Amino acid sequence: MRVITGIARGRRLNAPEGLDVRPTTDKVKEAVFSAIQFEIEGACVLDLFAGSGQMGIEAISRGASRAVFVDSSQRAIRCINENIRDVKFERQSEVISRDSYDYIKLTRNMFDIIILDPPYRHNHIDNILPFAAKKLREGGLIICEYESEADEPVAPENLKLRKTYRYGKINVSVFCKPITEVSE
């Protein structure tokens, strides 16, 4: 696992050990970031269910101004902190040891990009997507990674499905929050 491009390009990242961790493959990560490349510059990113933190780190490497990493596993938190130190992104990063549901429900922060890559087979995306949508700025994106056998997530009322990408056993759905037109 490595940072694909940007200022930390080529840097190796560690993943926490265990069966509950499933790092995004480089192929899928590269495709996701290619699809959203024009929305990354200056963005505030939330990497929810962060695992190794590789998605938020990739976003910072590509120009995001800040990333918040949330995970409830202490093993994951140690790994995220180690990876952030290794790529020297401490100033642009905030690591939070907390249940992802609790965080997204209670945070006052708003984000430009939210990455949801929860453990598979638990319907986490459908359950957490409405809460994430409330923490997304207008024009923002939510990226959902899930197993291909699962149903495509349903867009909450204020989000629109931009596109779903299929990569073998993995699907990625990108939702956007349209910018509200101000009438004069």
CATH superfamily of 26-176: Vaccinia Virus protein VP39 (3.40.50.150)
- State the burial class of residue 10 (Cβ atoms within 10 Å of its Cβ: 0-12, 13-18, 19+): exposed
pLDDT (0 to 100) of residue 120: 74
pLDDT (0 to 100) of residue 19: 44
Token pair of 12 as six digits: 């190796």
pLDDT at residue 122 above 80? no
What percent of the chain is predicted at pLDDT more than 90?
Answer: 67
Stronger pLDDT, 158 or 122, i.e. the higher one: 158
pLDDT (0 to 100) of residue 176: 96
Q: In 42-180, which ranges are continuous DSSP H helix?
A: 54-61, 74-87, 100-106, 124-134
Virtual torsion, Cα 105, 106, 110, 114, nearest 10 deg: -40
pLDDT (0 to 100) of residue 18: 62
CB 9 within 8 A of CB 33: no
**pTM, two decimal places:** 0.93
Q: Domain residue spans in the chain? A: 26-176
How far apart are alpha carbons 181 and 107 in whole angstroms?
26
E strands in the chain: 44-48, 66-71, 93-97, 111-116, 136-147, 160-167, 170-176
Alpha-carbon distances, residue 115 vs 8, 111, 180 (angstroms): 20, 10, 22
pLDDT (0 to 100) of residue 21: 58
Stronger pLDDT, 25 or 156, i.e. the higher one: 156
Q: In 25-73, which ranges are continuous DSSP H helix?
A: 26-35, 54-61
Mean pLDDT over the full length of the chain:
91
